[in-house]
Amino acid sequence: MITAIFICPVRREPMHSVEEVRAVPGRGLEGDRYFHGTGSYSRWPGAGREVTLIASETLERLRLEHGIDLPPGAHRRSLITVGVDLDSLIGRDFSVGPVLMRGDRHCAPCGYLDSITIPGVCEAMKRVGGGLRAVILTEGIIRVGSPIKPHEGPLRGGLTA
């Protein structure tokens, strides 16, 4: 389930929480810097920048195991989940409420986090997990409380999970 949604209209600015957001294939989350093509990594082509997810359980491990308690949104991830094994979604289609997505790859933390949060958070996140990058396959509204369900059966394009 989605427990929080964060977007940031301008790169390097603080993320802010919203109750719902429109997801658009090929663009990202409406109102976010990557939706507008102005994110820090927008200048390089590649998939997996449309949406990022991180488990609240990972953030709790970061706090318990490394003593790092990040303020809301400081993790720079778009969707916060609970009760979902994000690693199991890599290479799989899944739904977030009415929106179909495909897990693309791990979301490795970058050194930028150290400069805007707590020194050492990047290395700590490498140990506990940085989350998941995903591609949006269908348009729709994601809300706080939206369920996350792995897609059963063939993936889009005839591939199998």
pLDDT in tens, 55-95: 999 999 999 999 988 888 888 899 999 999 999 999 999 99
**Which residue ranges make up each domain of the chain?**
2-150
C-alpha distances in Å from residue 118, one per residue of 81, 113, 129? 22, 7, 16
- What's the pTM? 0.86
- Token pair, residue 40, equals 């820090």
CA angle 70, 71, 76 (to 5 degrees): 75
Q: CB count, 10 Å around CB of 25?
A: 15
Which architecture characterizes domain 2-150 according to CATH? Beta Barrel (2.40)
What is the C-alpha to C-alpha distance for residues 33 and 10, in angstroms, rounded to an integer? 5
